[in-house]
Amino acid sequence: MRRVKDHYDVLIAGSGVAGLHAALQFPPQVKVLVLCKKELLLSNSALAQGGVAAVVDKEHDTCQLHIKDTMIAGGNQNNPDALEVLVNEGAENVLNLLDIGVDFDRDETGGLQLTLEGGHSRRRILHHKDSTGREMMEKLILAVKAKSNVDIEENCMLADLKQVENGFLAYVLGDGHCTQVTANYCILATGGIGRVYQYTTNSAIATGDGIALAHRMGAKITDLHLVQFHPTAFAAKQNRERFLISESVRGEGAVLLNNEGKRFMDRYDERLELAPRDVVSRSIMKEARRVGSNNFYLDISFQGADYLKNRFPTIYGRCLEEGVDITKDWIPVFPCQHYLMGGIHVDLDSQSSIDRLYACGECSHTGVHGNNRLASNSLLEALVFSRRAARHILNRMASEPHPILSKGDDLPLDGMPLPSGLRTQVRDIMQSAHFVVPNPVAAREGMKRVKKILAMLESSHYAVTPDFIETKNITTVAMIILEEVNKP
């Protein structure tokens, strides 16, 4: 942590699209620290395949249609004010990425190529083949690294965060050492909670860190039980992390098949394979009970081999590594944890209930997604609300003092080794209690077990390591989810 200074104007925890896009907004006189838990390209943002939704084709699309589609997918439980902001500011934020070199696919005329995904009534998804998130991340990393006022520190974890007068005291863990950093403002952009589950499409860093930290600080956490399960994750036999078969594959015509090789979505929804994700996931679970099998497939082999290799090179390559050639074979799929609609409650400027603490991206709850996220709205939310957070901080800085803050006591790192198997216990509980169709009995029993594990973690003096911090965060997130599920 050679570059880390004692004090910054703004501390950003998280280095996905939300964190990097926020950092990009600050002018040279504002000193910013971006904490990256592992390496910069290890994030849920970098795994995003399908694309980013925005109304850029005003001839064939409207903001009102995008809002309507998002409301339908979200069960009309979306925050209408936040949704207006998301959609109306979306195109500007997305098109600004062209200025830093993001290479969205083009059609034969040179115009932006737009694709369709489940729940969308118009082609409005900008994409870079099937690795849109990685393309955005690579260009954002280059742009932020070029800013002399931003320090990016990899392999550093926010171990603890305490509110002090005029800002925050952060304990940053890296290289076996803990460094104290003060900041007048903090943006949490720590991503999702996928590692709370046994199987997830999320990266290894998705342990709910920002949400758990905010909860311990007393911030309002909203709707954490609203977990999205993607219907078409590759059904690998071993790996905990399941790679995604993007929604855009179905958008380009792929069909779902049961264990008998028959299409079945017509039994459950007139939109067939292009129904919203929660509908498709529940339909698969119903069909599994009907036919007595968990073997399901996605077939797009009827499209030309050259087209598939060019349009979906990442998916083609990953499936081939698993022995599946998507130009000839059916792709084995099954639902698994994918996204979180709930999180740290924020307003339209990404402010949490704690003064000077902001949250954006998947760890936040803006309310734009309602009960279920519409495909490709996640990168859009990260862009729009990270920019709003930065702008709100800049406006406050112009009118408020931001003095250098004093440090506190050191964080004791030594202690007992963490017992093995705690994460596995929590993941097993969540997989049985709150999967696609929640199990009320398992949820009640699971909440008791999770609370016991958390009480043990909090009452005993374990060595403060990344493993301990992540285990505590995972358990905290699981407890909040199960508490919400078990409310009368």
What residues are annotated to the active site? 277
Angle at 71 between CA 70 and CA 73, to 5 degrees: 65
Tokens for 115?
């694709």
Residue type, 185: Y
Contact 215, 476 (CB under 8 A): yes
Find the length of the chain: 488
Residue type, 251: G
What is the CA 98 to chain-centroid distance, rounded?
23
In three-state form (DSSP H/G/I as H, E/B as E, the rest C), the secondary structure along 337-376 is: EEEECCEEECCCCCECCCCCEEECHHHEECCCCCCCCCCC
Contact 385, 366 (CB under 8 A): yes
3-state secondary structure of 164: strand
Picking from 134, 94, 140, the residue whose alpha carbon sits closest to that of residue 114 is 94
- Cα separations (Å) of 428 from 57, 195, 201? 45, 11, 16
Contact 375, 49 (CB under 8 A): no
Residue type, 85: V
Angle at 189 between CA 426 and CA 337, to 5 degrees: 40
Secondary structure letter of residue 242 according to DSSP: P
Contact 206, 192 (CB under 8 A): yes
Picking from 392, 313, 377, the residue whose alpha carbon sits closest to that of residue 347 is 392
Contact 150, 8 (CB under 8 A): no
State the distance between the two ends of the chain, measured CA to CA, in whole angstroms: 47
Please tell me the distance from the alpha carbon of residue 419 to that of residue 416, in angstroms, as a whole number: 9
Contact 229, 278 (CB under 8 A): yes
211-249 core/surface letters (b: 16 or more CB in 10 A; e: else): bbbbbebebebbbbbbbbbbbbbbbbeeeebbbbbbbbb
